[in-house]
Amino acid sequence: MSGQMLHGLATLIVAVSLAGTAPPLEGKPQPTSQSSAKSAKKAARRAAKSAASADSSQPFPDASPERVVSVTEKVFPAVVRLDVAQEIYSEGKRNLRRGIGSGVIIDDDGRILTNYHVAGRAAEIYATLANKERVPAKLIGDDHWTDLAVVQLDMETVKRKNITFTHAELGESRHLIIGEHVMAIGTPFGLARTVTLGHVSNNERTFYPDRMRIDEQETGDFANWIQMDTPINPGNSGGPLVDMHGKVVGINTRGGGQNLNFAIPIDTAKPVIDGILRSASAEKKGRIDRSDLGMDLKPMQDLETFYGIDINKGVLINSVDRGSPAAKAGVKAQDILLELNGNPVNVRFPEEVAPAKKAIADLPIGSEVHMSLRRGHDILQLTAKTQKLEGAVGEEKEMKVWGLSVRDVTRRYANEQQLDDDLGVVVTTLSNGYPAAKAELRSGDVIRAVNLKPVTDIDEFIKLYEESVKRKDPRVFLQVRRDRGQQSVILKVNYEQEAAEGPPAKSPVKGPATRASAKP
Amino acid sequence: MKPSLLLLIGLLTLLSPAAGAATDSTQAQKLYEQVTPSLVAVQYTWEHELGRQEVIGAGVVVGEDGTVILPLAVANPGIPDEQMKDFKIIVPREDADPDEIDATFIGRDDRTNLAFVRAKPGKSSPAGETRKWKPIKFEDVSLQVGDPVVSVGVLPKMAGYKSYLMLANVAAMLRGEVPQVMVSGGGLGVIGSPVFNSAGKAVGYVNLQTAQQILLNDRNNPLAAVNNPPKFFVPARDFLQSFEDPPVAGQSMKLPWMGVVQLTGLRKEVAEFYGLGNQPAVQIGDVIKNTPAEKAGLKAGWIIVKMNGQPLERGDEPEELPQILRRKVLRMKVGSQVTFQILEEPNKPLKDVTLTLDEQPKRPNLAQRWYDDRLGLGVREIVFSDTYRAKLPADQKGVVVSVVKPSSSAETARVKMNDIVTQMNGKPVEDLEQFKTDFQQFRKEKPREAVILEVTREGNTQVIRIEPPQ
C-alpha cells in the first residue's frame, strides 16, 4: 500500500466541486401517516435510552441498533457543519479558499473543536448547528502540528435568536480497544449530520518515517493515530469519533479510502485545547508553544546489536540540525539518547517515535535539559538549552503593489533549504504582469535587502515595503539569494498604473465633448 | 597543424564542387552524392550497473584516418566513460548490409558540444583492403539571411541509415549562448547532419536543440526528425576549435575554470541602477574557495563589465550573457590569464582584476565507481560538484551513491541517489578504494549481516541499515 494514499486530508470539499458531486436530496421517503411514525419514534427512543443506561458499566458495549440510536441522539446536538473561508496566498495575493468541514461543540460557552486544516487561518466561519440554525463563528486559535483548531460560536447571535445546543462529553482515547465500535458524525461532501459506524482498527498507527504536511506545514509529529474502518469522507474532517458511550474519543482527520481512516486521539487534543484557550486573547490567536532540540530520532529496531545496546534501551539520533541546541551541546548523529532529565527514552519501534518527540516538545522552552547519551562504548552527559519549536512555514504576507507574497524564513526552513542563516523573506507566489513577475523574481528566491537596507525578517520587510510605496520609489533595488548565488533585481513600479486598477477616479469632463467618446 | 589535416585540405580542394545555387536540382544531386560517403552512424553499448543499452547517433567523417564527429548528446556527458563500450562506425551501403567498423572513443569536447570516435586501424573491410574515408572539412563562411543551405542527414536504423537531402534558406542569425542559424523552408537533417552553402562548403552542423530526437534507434518515434525537421544549425566558426585542438584518446580534455558560479546577466534596469547604461554585464553569484577567482579577490555580488579590455559579447537576452562568457573562458588554455573589469558597487570606479585559469575539477562521469549487486548499491568517488551541491567543504571525504537498483535491499533501506556516505559500520569513509576494501572484507567475514551507513542528505545525516538478501 502506498503511504501517499493514506495521507489525503479528509476535509475540505471546495464549494465549487460540491455542486457537482452532491447526490440529489429529493425523493426522501414519505411517512405513511404522521402519527404512526411519531409513536414508532418514541418507542425506539425509549428502547435506546434503556439500552444506554443498562450498559454504561460495560467497557465497550455492543453497537446494538438501540445503542447506535442512543449515542446518535446524545452526540448529534453537539456536532456542527463549518463553512470556512481560509486565508491562502496565491498569485502574489492573499486569497480566500472556501471549504466545508465538521466540528464538535465542547462546552456551554460555545467552543468548537475541529481540525486545523478545516478552520486554521480562517478569515470567516459559519457554523450550522444540529437544529439547522446558522451562526457566525470566530477562530480562537490553532495548531498545525496536531492539526487542531478551536472556534468560538458567536454567543450574541445564539442568545438573540434563542438558539439551543448541547456540548459533547470528551472521553479517554487511551482506553480504546482494537475492535471496539466507534461512530463518526459529520458533514461528508457537505451532507450535514451524517452518522457512520465502524471499528477501531488500530490505536497506535504511525506513518513513520513518512512526514505529513498540511499546505506545506508539518503535522502529526507528536502523536500516533486512531485507525478505524468507520467510513469518513471529505467534509468529515474535524467531526467527532465517538465510542458507544457517546463520548468523543477522536477527531476525524484523514481518510485513506478502502476503510482506512484516521482520527486524532482526544487525549492528544485535550492539552492542545487547554493551551489554545489559555493563550488566546481578544487581539491574539491562541497557540501552542513547544520546545525543540533540533535532532531527528530513529527507532533502534534491529540496530541494537550493532550499537551493543540492550534491547529496548534508548533512541538513535539520526540527524542533528546545524546550529541547533543539540548541535551546540555536542550531540552527534549515531549517538544513542538514553535519558532525558533522568527519564528513560526508549524507541525500539516506529510507534514509539511520536511519544519520544512529544517528551522533548513538552519540556519548558529555554530550560536546561540533561541528556545521557551513549557514543560507541562511552556514556556521555550533555546539557542543552531548549529553544522554541518553529515550523518550516513562516508568517506570510502580500505586497500588493509589487505583486508578490512572501514568507518569513524560519530556522527550520533555513535548515531544510541549507541557507546560511534565517535572515530575509522567501518569495512564495507572484502576480502576473506586476513588477516582481516582470523582473523575473521567482518563487523560492530569498530577498535579503531592499534598497541596500538589510531584511532581517518579515516585519522589517513589510516596513521597507510600506516606506517604499509611500515614497513612490519608481525603482526598487532588491538583493536576492537564488540557489547558492547572489542576484540583483530591480522592480519598476508604475504607481499611476497601480492606482488606475483601483476604483475609477472621479473625472469631470473637462475637454471638448468629443473626448467622452474617445476609446480608452 | 597535423599532417592528416593537411592531406584533408588537399583532398577537399579536389572534391570542391562547382559554384552555383544549391537549389538547382543537379547541383543538389551532385552534393548529395559527394557527401553521402562521409555520413555514417556511430553505435556503442552503454553498459551500466543495471543493464545495457544500445545507443546510435549520426556521425560525420572528418579525418582520413576514420575520425568521426557526433553530437555531444549522443555520448551524453552524464554517462561514465568506462561504461561506454564496443564503439562501431556503421557505414551504410547500397549493395549490402552496412559495414560495422570497430572504433575507439576519443573523447568529448565541451567547448563545442562534439564527441569524437576513430576507426581502429587495420583491416576495415571484409575484403581486407584499407578503407578510404572521405572526410568533410568544415569552414568558417559568412552567411546572409536568405542564403540557400543544404543539409544531408542519415535516416534511422530501421531505414538502413540511408542518407537524405534537405533544402532550406537562412532565416535569422541568433546570438544565443551557442550561436545558431535559423532556417525556413524544408528544414535540416537529423541532429548530427552537416550543412552546406550553395558553393558546397560545409558551413555548419545541426547540433542539439529542444524537442529534437538525437538517436537513430529510437523505437517510439523513429521518423521524428523527418516529420519535424530541425530548424537550427551551429555555424562552423563556433566549433572549428575542435579540429585545431581535438580531444586525445585516453586523456580527458584539460578545460579551464575560474571558480565563479551562479552568474547572472544584468537586466537593463539593473545595469542602469549600477550606472552601467546599456552595457552588457554579468553579476557574480558565488565564488568558490581555493579557486583562481578567490585567489584574485573576486567577491560574490561584483559585476563583470569587460573581459581582456573588450566589452562582453551580447546575447539576444540577458540570461544568455553568463553562458556566452563561460563558453569564452572555456575556449582559453589552462594557465592563461584573464583580466576582468569589475564594478563592486553602484557608481564606484571600475577596477581590473587578473586571474590565472586553473584546471576544472573532475566531473562525476570520470569518477571511479563500484557496484555491489547483492545490495543493489552503486557508489562512486566524491567530486567537486557533489560537495558544492551538498554545501559541504570541498575536501569532504566519503563516497557518493550513484546507483540504487529498484526493489533492491538498498532501495528498501531508503538509500537515495546522491547520498554522500560518510561512515560505514561506524568507521569514517576515506575514499572509494577504502570503502570497497572494507565492504568486501566485512562481507567475507559476515556474509549475512546488515551494513550500517551514515549518509549526508540535504544538509542532514541519516543512519541507514541495509539488510542483505538472506
CB–CB contact B458 A319 (8 Å)? no
Q: How far apart are CA B111 and CA A157, in angstroms?
A: 75
Asked if residue A505 has pLDDT above 50, the reply is: no
Which residues are CB-contacts of A76 (< 8 A; sequence separation ≥ 6)?
A130, A185, A193, A195
Task: Give me the mean pLDDT over the A282-305 stretch.
Answer: 91
CB–CB contact B450 A306 (8 Å)? yes
Contact A144, A391 (CB under 8 A): yes
Give the pairing of strands B377-381 and B369-372: antiparallel
Q: Which residue of A has its CA nearest to B286?
A: A485
The model's pTM: 0.82
Which residues are CB-contacts of B270 (< 8 A; sequence separation ≥ 6)?
A488, A489, A490, B283
Put simply, whether A318 touches B (Cβ < 8 Å) is yes
CB–CB contact A415 B285 (8 Å)? no
- Say what the alpha-carbon torsion angle B160, B165, B168, B173 is, to the nearest 10 degrees: 60
Mutate to test the interface with B, among A411, A486, A489, A491 (most CBs of B within 10 A): A486
Asked if residue A322 has pLDDT above 90, the reply is: no
Asked if residue A514 has pLDDT above 80, the reply is: no
CA distance A174 to chain B (A): 32
Put simply, whether A419 touches B (Cβ < 8 Å) is no
Do A274 and A295 lie in one domain? The reply is no
Q: Which of A243, A263, A267 is nearest to A252 (CA)?
A: A263
Report the first-to-last Cα separation within chain A, whole angstroms.
60
Q: What is the DSSP letter of B233?
A: E
With beta carbons under 8 A apart, name residues in chain B contacting A415: 459-460
Put simply, whether A321 touches B (Cβ < 8 Å) is yes
Asked if residue A433 has pLDDT above 90, the reply is: yes
Do A6 and A94 lie in one domain? The reply is yes
Containing structural domain, residue A2: 1-16+41-52+59-286
Q: Which three cell numbers stand for residue B274?
A: 549600477
Q: What is the DSSP letter of B38?
A: G
Which residues are CB-contacts of B79 (< 8 A; sequence separation ≥ 6)?
B46, B48, B365
In tens, the pLDDT along A48-77 reads 555 555 455 677 888 899 999 999 999 999
CB–CB contact B264 A485 (8 Å)? yes
Q: Which amino acid is present at A439?
A: A
Total domain count, chain A: 3
Q: What is the DSSP letter of A177?
A: -
User: In chain A, how long is the greatest CA-to-CA distance?
Assistant: 96
Q: Residue A138 belongs to what H/E stretch?
A: strand A134-143
Q: What is the DSSP letter of B169?
A: E
Backbone angles phi, psi at A316, to 5 degrees: -80, 130
- Output b/e per residue, B136-172; b: 16+ Cβ within 10 A: bbbeebebeeebbbbbbbbbbbeeebebbbbbbebee
Q: Which residue of B has its CA nearest to A377?
A: B426
Q: Which of B206, B65, B88, B106 is nearest to B149 (CA)?
A: B206
Q: How far apart are CA A484 and CA B285, in angstroms?
A: 7
* A108 — pLDDT class (breaks 50, 70, 90): very high
Task: Reduce the DSSP state of residue A381 to 3 states and report it.
Answer: strand
Which residues are CB-contacts of A25 (< 8 A; sequence separation ≥ 6)?
none
CB–CB contact A303 B269 (8 Å)? no
Q: Residue B26 belongs to what H/E stretch?
A: helix B25-35
Asked if the structure places residue A35 within a domain, the reply is: no
Q: Which of A192, A177, A190, A167 is nearest to A75 (CA)?
A: A167
In tens, the pLDDT along B185-209 reads 999 999 999 999 999 999 999 998 8
Do A82 and A207 lie in one domain? The reply is yes
Asked if residue A520 has pLDDT above 60, the reply is: no
Do A87 and A225 lie in one domain? The reply is yes
Q: Which three cell numbers stand for residue A139?
A: 477562530
CATH code at A410? 2.30.42.10
3-state secondary structure string across A284-342? CCECCCCEECCEEEECCCCCHHHHCCCCCCCEEEEEECCCCHHHHHCCCCCCEEEEECC
Do A87 and A177 lie in one domain? The reply is yes
CB–CB contact B391 A418 (8 Å)? yes
Q: Which three cell numbers stand for residue A288?
A: 501552542
Asked if the structure places residue A300 within a domain, the reply is: yes
Q: How far apart are CA A197 and CA A230, in angstroms?
A: 5
Among A356, A388, A420, the domain boundary falls at A388
Put simply, whether A490 touches B (Cβ < 8 Å) is yes
Q: Which three cell numbers stand for residue B220?
A: 517510439
Do A88 and A180 lie in one domain? The reply is yes
Backbone angles phi, psi at B53, to 5 degrees: -145, 135
* Percent of chain A surpassing pLDDT 70: 84
Q: Which residues of A are catalytic?
A: 117, 147, 237
Q: What is the DSSP letter of A50?
A: H
Q: Which amino acid is present at A193?
A: R
* Ordered domains of chain B (ranges, CATH): 1-252 (2.40.10.120), 256-359 (2.30.42.10), 364-466 (2.30.42.10)
Among A370, A388, A406, the domain boundary falls at A388
Q: How far apart are CA B311 and CA B314, in angstroms?
A: 9
Q: Residue A136 belongs to what H/E stretch?
A: strand A134-143
CB–CB contact A334 B467 (8 Å)? no
CATH code at A199? 2.40.10.120
* A256 — pLDDT class (breaks 50, 70, 90): confident
Q: What DSSP string runs through B404-425?
A: E-TTSHHHHTT--TT-EEEEET
Cα A386 to the center of its chain, rounded Å = 24
Q: Which of B356, B361, B134, B330 is nearest to B239 (CA)?
A: B330
Give the pairing of strands B232-235 and B202-205: antiparallel
Put simply, whether A334 touches B (Cβ < 8 Å) is yes
Q: Which three cell numbers stand for residue A278?
A: 489559555
Task: Reduce the DSSP state of residue B172 to 3 states and report it.
Answer: strand
Report the first-to-last Cα separation within chain B, whole angstroms.
62
Q: Taking the CB of residue B375, how many other CB atoms lie within 10 A of it?
A: 24
Asked if the structure places residue A465 within a domain, the reply is: yes
Q: How far apart are CA A125 and CA A152, in angstroms?
A: 9
With beta carbons under 8 A apart, name residues in chain A contacting B300: 485-486
* A31 — pLDDT class (breaks 50, 70, 90): very low
Asked if the structure places residue A23 within a domain, the reply is: no
Q: Residue A273 belongs to what H/E stretch?
A: helix A266-279
Nearest to B458 among A418, A483, A492 (CB): A418
User: Which residue has cell 455542486?
Assistant: A19
Do A302 and A282 lie in one domain? The reply is no
Bridge partner list, A150: A113, A141
Q: What is the pLDDT of residue A511?
A: 32
- Say what the alpha-carbon torsion angle A216, A222, A228, A232 is, to the nearest 10 degrees: -30
Q: What is the pLDDT along chain B (470 residues), one digit of tens a residue?
A: 344 444 444 444 444 443 334 457 888 899 999 999 999 999 999 999 999 999 999 999 999 999 999 999 999 988 998 899 999 999 998 888 899 999 999 999 999 999 999 999 876 555 556 788 999 999 999 999 999 999 999 999 988 999 999 999 999 999 888 899 999 999 999 999 999 999 999 999 999 888 888 999 988 888 889 999 999 999 999 999 999 999 998 888 899 999 998 999 999 889 988 988 888 999 999 999 999 999 999 999 999 999 999 999 888 888 889 999 999 999 999 999 999 999 998 888 999 999 999 999 998 988 999 999 999 999 999 999 999 988 888 899 999 999 999 999 999 999 999 999 999 998 999 999 999 999 999 999 999 899 999 999 988 899 999 999 88
Give the pairing of strands B337-343 and B351-356: antiparallel
Do A224 and A194 lie in one domain? The reply is yes
Asked if residue A377 has pLDDT above 90, the reply is: no
Asked if the structure places residue A34 within a domain, the reply is: no
Asked if the structure places residue A108 within a domain, the reply is: yes
Do A170 and A219 lie in one domain? The reply is yes
Nearest to B285 among A321, A485, A492 (CB): A485
Stretch 201-240 of chain A: residues touching chain B, C-beta under 8 Å: 209
CB–CB contact A319 B262 (8 Å)? no
Mean pLDDT (chain A) is 87
Put simply, whether A298 touches B (Cβ < 8 Å) is yes
Do A434 and A335 lie in one domain? The reply is no
Q: What is the pLDDT of residue B277?
A: 83
Mutate to test the interface with A, among B266, B270, B284, B415 (most CBs of A within 10 A): B270
Asked if the structure places residue A373 within a domain, the reply is: yes
Q: How far apart are CA B327 and CA B330, in angstroms?
A: 5
Question: How do the residues of chain B divide into helix, strand and coil, expressed in percent and rounded to 5?
Answer: 20, 35, 45
- Say what the alpha-carbon torsion angle A82, A83, A89, A95 is, to the nearest 10 degrees: -160
Q: How far apart are CA B307 and CA B286, in angstroms?
A: 18
Do A349 and A417 lie in one domain? The reply is no
Asked if the structure places residue A131 within a domain, the reply is: yes
With beta carbons under 8 A apart, name residues in chain A contacting B274: 488
Q: Which residue of B has its CA nearest to A415?
A: B459
On the CB side of A487, CA atoms within 13 Å amount to: 25
Do A274 and A364 lie in one domain? The reply is no
What is the ipTM metric for this complex?
Answer: 0.81
Mutate to test the interface with A, among B261, B266, B268, B269 (most CBs of A within 10 A): B269
Q: Which amino acid is present at B255?
A: L
CA distance A210 to chain B (A): 11
Contact B363, B353 (CB under 8 A): no
Cite the beta strand spans of B62-193 per DSSP E.
67-71, 84-91, 99-109, 114-119, 148-154, 163-174, 180-185
